[in-house]
Chains A and B, each alone.
Chain A
Amino acid sequence: QKEVEQDPGPLSVPEGAIVSLNCTYSNSAFQYFMWYRQYSRKGPELLMYTYSSGNKEDGRFTAQVDKSSKYISLFIRDSQPSDSATYLCAIAPNAGGTSYGKLTFGQGTILTVHP
Chain B
Amino acid sequence: ETGVTQTPRHLVMGMTNKKSLKCEQHLGHNAMYWYKQSAKKPLELMFVYSLEERVENNSVPSRFSPECPNSSHLFLHLHTLQPEDSALYLCASSQRTGDNEQFFGPGTRLTVL
Interface residues of A (CB under 8 A from B): 4, 6, 8, 32, 34, 41-46, 49, 88, 90, 92, 94-108
- CB within 8 Å of A: which B11-25 residues: none
The answer to whether B48 and A103 touch across the interface, beta carbons within 8 angstroms, is no
Given contacts A96-B94, A98-B98, A99-B56, contact A106 B104 (CB under 8 A): no
- Expressed in whole angstroms, the Cα–Cα distance for A109 and B91 within the complex equals 21
The answer to whether A46 and B97 touch across the interface, beta carbons within 8 angstroms, is no
- Expressed in whole angstroms, the Cα–Cα distance for A41 and B88 within the complex equals 10
- Expressed in whole angstroms, the Cα–Cα distance for A46 and B105 within the complex equals 12
The answer to whether B107 and A103 touch across the interface, beta carbons within 8 angstroms, is no
- Residues in B neighbouring A90, C-beta threshold 8 A: 100
Question: Which chain B residue has the least Cβ–Cβ distance from A8?
Answer: B40
Listed A/B pairs (23) with beta-carbon separation below 8 Å: A6-B42, A42-B106, A42-B107, A43-B4, A43-B92, A43-B107, A46-B101, A46-B102, A49-B100, A92-B100, A94-B98, A96-B96, A96-B98, A96-B99, A97-B96, A97-B98, A100-B48, A100-B97, A101-B102, A104-B42, A107-B40, A107-B42, A108-B42
Central interface residue in B45, B94, B100, B104, by most chain A CB within 10 Å: B100
Central interface residue in B56, B94, B99, by most chain A CB within 10 Å: B99
The answer to whether B50 and A97 touch across the interface, beta carbons within 8 angstroms, is no
The answer to whether A101 and B42 touch across the interface, beta carbons within 8 angstroms, is no
Central interface residue in B33, B43, B50, by most chain A CB within 10 Å: B43
Q: Is B81 an interface residue (CB 8 A)?
A: no
Q: Select which of A41, A94, A103, A107 is within 8 A of B45 by beta carbon.
A: A103
The answer to whether B98 and A43 touch across the interface, beta carbons within 8 angstroms, is no
Cβ distance B58 to chain A, nearest Cβ, rounded Å: 9
- Residues in A neighbouring B4, C-beta threshold 8 A: 43
